[in-house]
Amino acid sequence: MSQPKVLIIIGDATETVDTLYPYYRLIEGGYRPVVAAPEKRRYQMVMHEVKPGWTITKEWEGYTIEAEIAFADLVPEEYAGIFFSGGRAPEYIREDEALLRATRYFFEKNLPIASVCHGVEIPARADCVRGRRMATVAKCKFDLEICGGIYVNEPCVVDGNLVSGRTFHDNGHYFGAFMKLLDANRG
C-alpha to C-alpha distances, 165 to 14, 52, 63, nearest whole angstrom: 16, 22, 22
Catalytic, 48? Answer no
Q: What residue type is 64 in one-letter code?
A: T
- The pTM assigned to this predicted structure is 0.96
For the chain, what is the domain count? 1
CATH of the domain at 40: 3.40.50.880
> What is d(CA 36, CA 131) in angstroms, rounded to the nearest whole number?
27
> What integer pLDDT is reported at residue 1 of this predicted model?
59
- Residues 116-158 have pLDDT tens digits of 999 999 999 999 999 999 999 999 999 999 999 999 999 999 9
Closest CA to 177 of 154, 151, 147: 154
Domain that holds residue 158: 5-186
Options 48, 118, 169, 173, the catalytic residue: 118
